[in-house]
Amino acid sequence: MEVKIGQFIITSTGDEDTPARSHRGFVLKKVAKVRKSKKTKPENIGKEKEIDLGYHVTFEQAMQNLVNHKLRESDAKTLDEVKVLIWELKAEIKKDYSLEKEE
């Protein structure tokens, strides 16, 4: 499974062939552009890379971590601003994964 939400991706780990004792869960990743640094190869500058932000047992935990990352990246200073941020995230998810048929 791979679910894209804006600049974030939630992927599942493990599959049906994975032994029951192996860890199955979800990984929250952020997609970012490679920036110039002393260790960066010139040909990689500007390319997209995925950064692992957390490993989770449930999809719900991965979604909560996504909300937490969005909140930490925001400039929200009031509860009303936090509410707006959460509503914007919900709208983005609805837009990307609407069950309504587009015409």
Residue ranges covered by each domain of the chain: 2-96
- pLDDT over 50 (residue 21): no
Read off the pLDDT of residues 27-42 as tens digits, 9 standing for 90 and up.
Answer: 999 999 988 888 888 8
- pLDDT over 50 (residue 48): yes
**pTM of the prediction?**
0.69
H-helix or E-strand spanning residue 30: strand 25-33
Read off the pLDDT of residues 52-75 as tens digits, 9 standing for 90 and up.
Answer: 999 999 888 998 899 899 889 899
Residue with tokens 């199955």: 24
- Mean pLDDT over the full length of the chain: 83
Q: In whole angstroms, what is the distance from residue 93 CA to residue 71 CA?
A: 16
pLDDT for residue 16:
55
